[in-house]
A and B are shown apart, each in its own frame.
Chain A
Amino acid sequence: MSLTARGHLATALLLLPALLFIAVWFVTPLAQLFQLSVSDKAGPFAPYAQLLGSEVYRRVFVNTLWLALTVTAISILLAYPTAYVLTRLKGWWWTLAFYCVLFPFWISVLIRTFAWMLLLEKNGPINRVLLELGAIDRPLELLFNAGSVHIGMVHVLLPYAVLPIYAAMIRVDHRLLLASDGLGAAPLMTFLRIYLPLTMPGVTAAAVFVFLLALGFFITPALLGGVSAITVAMLIEQLVNERLVWSLAGAASFILLAVIFALLALAARFVPLGQALVAR
């Protein structure tokens, strides 16, 4: 056996536990869910036809995708400079800043969502401070609209965007930036031609993480959103818990999954997703 073949065998053996784990705990339940989705009395694909044929459900899907997209864009725009600052900090300041990024991870999403309700409400602290300062004449309507949903979701998802971008940034060889500088490039040119392309895999990974997580959001839009803030996750919850029609819920889950795969495949044509997601 050649050395490389042995290497491959070792790799395969090392991967085996992970593959088994995924097969038992992910692929099998997914197959069961699919079976459920085609088990409707009205025919195997009746739930799919009902969901795709309905203008209402189609709009829920479009709403969800649009929400996930805008949340992803805002998260990346905020995370990029944050991650950059993290790479420049040293010692105690670095630890403090890192804890600030990670700390929200340890607080439940539900509690953070309720906290935003208290902060943003009509007589809440934000409106009171603005009124005291004379910046506004009457309380702003900060809650129960697209704005509050975005604030709540970005807050939850920001760490997922900061960390991959930070990881890409610390791998950048700073001598390249010095070389660019030495060759007479303006700082903006150095950023656009050297730093941004080198950190792009991190940005892509961050965008994929945030987008996928945002697609499944349920509590935050339900509590902070207005009446039309219906996401696919909320729809599925209602089908599972209220209407108890699990074939429809299963079908909605699979349609969402198919949309995600299609979008990832599309994205992979433009950015090297594999490179972004595989840690080296």
Chain B
Amino acid sequence: MITRRGLMQSAGALSLAAGLGMPAFGQARPFTFVSWGGALSALEKEAFMDPYAKKFGIEIVNTSPTNNAKLKAMVEAKAVEWDLVDVGGRTIFQGRDQDFIEPIDYNIVTNAKNLDKGWVTSHGVFTATGATIIAWNDKAYPGGKGPQSWKDFWDVKNFPGARGLYKLFYYNYEAALLAAGLKREEIYPATDEKVKQAIAKCQEIKPHVKVWWTAGAQPPQLLSSGELAVSSAWSGRILDALKEKAPIGYTYKDGIAWGNAYVVPKGTPHKETAMKVLNYAIGEEAQDRLLAIGTYGPVLASSAAKATPEQAAKLVMHPSNAKDMLIINDEQAGLYMTKHEEAWSKFQLG
């Protein structure tokens, strides 16, 4: 039976839980690393955090999920609970402009000199790579004959069926312009003209887009069930679903490569450790471990080069895949996302 006492007890339990969740300010807390959860957090714990903690004898707390607003808020409130945070690339530039992350100390992060310049910025360093790729339902296009480019993705005659695209302008700007026939080196800078062209191209495919997905878990699920014939999707999620034999095909051709970046919140008491952990994560020993895990790949080219042919097929940054991909420019993405957000919303509402 539902009783008043029962209700009061559950209300009491709720407020107690809320109380326990409050941070204990002023206490020495262990070094805290934050990431997005799922396959990515598992990989970072196994490849970077646990080995570092063991090697240098410190305690590292792994937690999730990353939340940009929370990161900014804790810095503004001067109650920083996070020391090293895995963010999307755009946040590096937002954090730099809004002054809530520390500049990277390259006297400590010396391994950065071995990375491709695209992965190194003043306020954040990329540590693992993935891509937004084209994936499809096996029954919709049997024998691996799915769309092999964004041009094919837009071609509803030869590749009929319901489509899925990301809800925000992110990735869609790049995909639309590639579908419109622009060369990879012509995608940036994101001028007003190109933004207009991208939205017009999206208008073309809009009647065939059934789902504008918001969560990374959606594309593998919707493709497996046949709700969608083809969708843009995050590579790690697709590879993870394929480990469980999901009926999905994919291609890295025309993929939009991106990285997961580490930033250090302004005012953390563990700033030096944060820089050391970051330096370790991009070192060869740590980067090599990403090959065996096989969801998100190394940023370090010399690690990627050690891949077996089977591993290489799944690696975004392996030369055999990278040659067909566009690397996203997160600074430009931040620009078109904020400046043209209203135009994008209008496109979706209309």
Contact = CB atoms under 8 A, between A and B. Distances in A.
Interface stretch (A181-189, A197-205, A221-229, A252-260): A221-229
Contacts of B227: 121-123, 143
Contacts, number: 65
Interface stretch (A12-20, A74-82, A239-247, A270-278): A239-247
A241 B349 contact: no
Interface string B147-190: 00000000000000000000110000000000000000000000
A174 to B, nearest CB: 24
A224 to B, nearest CB: 10
Task: Using C-beta atoms within 8 Å of the partner chain, give the interface range for chain B.
Answer: 20 to 34
B69 A241 contact: yes
Contact of A98 (B2, B69, B226, B346): B2
Interface string B67-107: 11100100000000000000000000010001000000000
A102 B349 contact: no
Contacts of A121: 222, 225, 227
A64 B125 CA distance: 40
B349 A242 contact: no
Nearest to A120: B227
Interface string B336-350: 011001100110111
B345 A55 contact: no
B206 A54 contact: no
Contact of A60 (B67, B349, B350): B349
Contacts of A63: 349
B342 A243 contact: no
A124 B222 CA distance: 11
Give the 3 A-B residue pairs with the shortest CB-CB distance, closest first.
A56-B346, A240-B69, A121-B227
B345 A60 contact: yes
B349 A144 contact: no
B307 interface: no
Interface of A: 54-57, 59-60, 63, 95, 98-99, 102, 117, 121-124, 143-144, 222-223, 227-228, 230, 235, 238, 240-246
19 contacts: A56-B346, A63-B349, A117-B221, A121-B222, A121-B225, A122-B225, A122-B226, A123-B225, A123-B227, A124-B225, A222-B167, A227-B206, A227-B212, A228-B348, A228-B350, A230-B345, A241-B69, A243-B337, A244-B68
A227 B337 contact: no
Contacts of B72: 244
A59 B68 contact: no
A176 B214 CA distance: 54
Contacts of B346: 55-56
Interface of B: 1-2, 67-69, 72, 94, 98, 167-168, 206, 209-212, 214-215, 218, 221-222, 225-227, 337-338, 341-342, 345-346, 348-350
A59 B347 CA distance: 12
B345 A241 contact: no
B241 to A, nearest CB: 16
Nearest to B169: A242
B1 A56 contact: no
B248 to A, nearest CB: 15
B168 A242 contact: yes
**Residue from B94, B167, B226, B345 whose CB has the most chain A CB atoms within 10 Å:** B345
**Residue from B2, B227, B337 whose CB has the most chain A CB atoms within 10 Å:** B227
A201 to B, nearest CB: 22
Contacts of B94: 244
Contacts of A57: 342, 345
A54 B221 CA distance: 36
Contacts of A241: 67-69
Contacts of B210: 144
Contacts of A123: 225-227
Nearest to A117: B221
A60 B349 CA distance: 8
Contact of B348 (A54, A99, A230): A230
Contacts of B69: 240-241, 244, 246
A244 B349 CA distance: 22
A225 to B, nearest CB: 9
A249 to B, nearest CB: 9
B11 to A, nearest CB: 13
A277 B253 CA distance: 60
A242 B342 contact: no
A242 B333 CA distance: 12
A230 B349 contact: yes
Nearest to A59: B349
Contacts of B215: 223
Contacts of A55: 346
Nearest to A101: B2
**Residue from A59, A98, A242 whose CB has the most chain B CB atoms within 10 Å:** A242
Contacts of B214: 222-223
B1 A228 contact: no
B226 to A, nearest CB: 5
Contacts of A230: 345, 348-349
Contacts of B68: 241-242, 244
A122 to B, nearest CB: 5
Contacts of B345: 56-57, 60, 230, 235
A243 B348 contact: no
